Structure 1
Amino acid sequence: MKYQVVSRDEWNAAREELLQREKEHTHASDALAAARRRLPMTPMEPVTVAGPKGQVPLQEVFEGRKMLIVYHFMWKQGAPHHKQCEGCTHSQAAMTAAVSAYLAARDVTYAVFSSGPLEEIIAYRDFMGWTMPWYSTAHSGEALATRDGGDLRCYLQTDDQVFQSYETKWRGIEAMMPSLQLLDLTPYGRQETWEETSEIIQLDEAGSWWRRDGRPVAQWTRTDEPVK
């Protein structure tokens, strides 16, 4: 696909046409979000996770709020920081304390679960400079297991019961990756092989650029130590 160069009037007309499509997409997304809210829920069996206070029931992860969003971070037990998952690291890089504060304002707690030992996952969180609560599910059983890649799950708590309301993975995780949403606004996009884009640029396999010089890209904001 070759890029066109047109007059400002022609550009304005083309932009207006695309804007109408963007509005349709927004309305369709709103309708999908409404359907997501109407999705039936399923009760959770009693289960515990390991945190700073030891094994605690899932209810404590809510921190007194009604709703909980959990990202299940794939974990390579015993591996050094640079060997941990670049996709999961990418998804968490934008989950700042400010984002958690905005979620809390809507009665939602954000947390991360991993199957690794608590001391390992907390060391990684601290290395990355993150502040979100992170719990180990090493002894939590199948109900909280990370299944074939990182995933995002939502829960609702009533007086005496926890329900799972939603779950997504793969492309669904992109809701946590604003870098991808911003790249989608640019002429070259994500520069990945699946995209329709210019013939003059080099394209990479999807997600392959999330790791650079042996580390997940976000780690280079925390260290300049080469990977040996």
Structure 2
Amino acid sequence: MRPEIVDRTAWLAARAELLTREKAHTREGDAIAAARRRLPMVEVDATVSLVGAAGPTGLLDIFEGRDQLLVCKHMWHRGKGFGDQCRGCTATVWNFQDASYLEARGVTFAVWCQGPYAEFAPYREFMGYQAPWYSVDGVDVPGISDGWITTYLRVGDRVFQTYETDGRGCEVMMPALQLLDMTVYGRQEEWEDSPAGWPQDPTQSWFIRDGRPVPQWTRLDPASSGAAR
């Protein structure tokens, strides 16, 4: 199935009609972001220590001297190989690998992984991630152990949680999804409202190729056929 074919005049008219809705959507997004900036904040335990590359690291040190911290959580399937780790988390973190613009605004970016540091450190190295990873394995602290994307503000020696989101809120980390939304067939997922006959993939296998999360194929030695991990 394909879209209807029309002349350019008709196409421009239809595009202009959609553009009006897109601009309204953008303005509503701006309004939501403004409301987000006005949310109250709640204090979290600043004495919490997580395990990172340098060993146990206090929450205040994770800010790396900046006033704000943005964290993305990564699931971990303990004892499993690289190919069996969370496909959604892999896609999310892979789609965001350079925090330079965040840092320029005083925001440190870090990944908090649910597994033991010694177990996931080789995975971080394999994927080539540059952002610091810390283990929240065994940590049960409100504002630290919950939430999938969480933001914090440091005020002196105190730390406050300002926002968190999960589910599709995490798509903000995945520009590939927004780009797919611009294509004629979209994400090809069953939940999408697409015309009858549009291609759909009920398995969401765009996350997976030949048994591995798709981003891992950029890291494999072709000679290994992906068997090493």
TM over 0.5: yes
The answer on whether the counterparts of 1:74 and 1:146 sit within 8 Å (CA) in structure 2 is: no
Provide the TM-score with structure 2 as the length reference.
0.91
**Secondary structure of 1:193's aligned partner:** coil
Partner AA of 2:20 in structure 1: Q
More divergent stretch after superposition (135-144 vs 22-31): 135-144
- Residues 134-158 of structure 1 show CA distances to partners (whole Å, capped at 9, x for unaligned) of 01112433333256xxx11000001
Partner of 1:164: 161
Report the alpha carbon displacement of residue 88 of structure 1 after superposing the two structures with TM. Answer: 0.2
The answer on whether the counterparts of 1:49 and 1:139 sit within 8 Å (CA) in structure 2 is: no
The answer on whether the counterparts of 1:71 and 1:113 sit within 8 Å (CA) in structure 2 is: yes
> Residues 5-154 of structure 1: matches in 2 within 5 Å?
5-45=5-45, 46-97=47-98, 100-143=99-142, 144-145=144-145, 151-154=148-151
Separation (CA, whole Å) in 1 of partners of 2:32 and 2:117: 36
**Secondary structure of 2:3's aligned partner:** coil
Partner AA of 1:189 in structure 2: G
Q: Can you give the 5+ residue segments of structure 2 that lack an aligned partner in the other structure?
A: none
Percent identity of equivalent pairs: 47
Separation (CA, whole Å) in 2 of partners of 1:54 and 1:93: 24
- Residues 72-103 of structure 1 show CA distances to partners (whole Å, capped at 9, x for unaligned) of 10111121100100000000112223xx1111
> Residues 168-179 of structure 1: matches in 2 within 5 Å?
168-179=165-176
Report the alpha carbon displacement of residue 39 of structure 1 after superposing the two structures with TM. Answer: 1.1
Instruction: Report whether the alignment pairs 1:191 with 2:192.
Output: no
The answer on whether the counterparts of 2:72 and 2:112 sit within 8 Å (CA) in structure 1 is: yes
- Residues 180-225 of structure 1 show CA distances to partners (whole Å, capped at 9, x for unaligned) of 0000001100011111224334312374420121100100111142
Q: Can you give the 5+ residue segments of structure 1 that lack an aligned partner in the other structure?
A: none
**Secondary structure of 2:193's aligned partner:** coil
Report the alpha carbon displacement of residue 227 of structure 1 after superposing the two structures with TM. Answer: 5.1
Q: Give the CA RMSD over aligned residues.
A: 1.8
Provide the TM-score with structure 1 as the length reference.
0.92
The answer on whether the counterparts of 2:53 and 2:133 sit within 8 Å (CA) in structure 1 is: no
Separation (CA, whole Å) in 2 of partners of 1:65 and 1:182: 31
213, 217, 221: which one aligns with 1:216? 213
Change (3 A) 1:188 1:218: same
The answer on whether the counterparts of 2:50 and 2:136 sit within 8 Å (CA) in structure 1 is: yes
The answer on whether the counterparts of 2:60 and 2:157 sit within 8 Å (CA) in structure 1 is: no
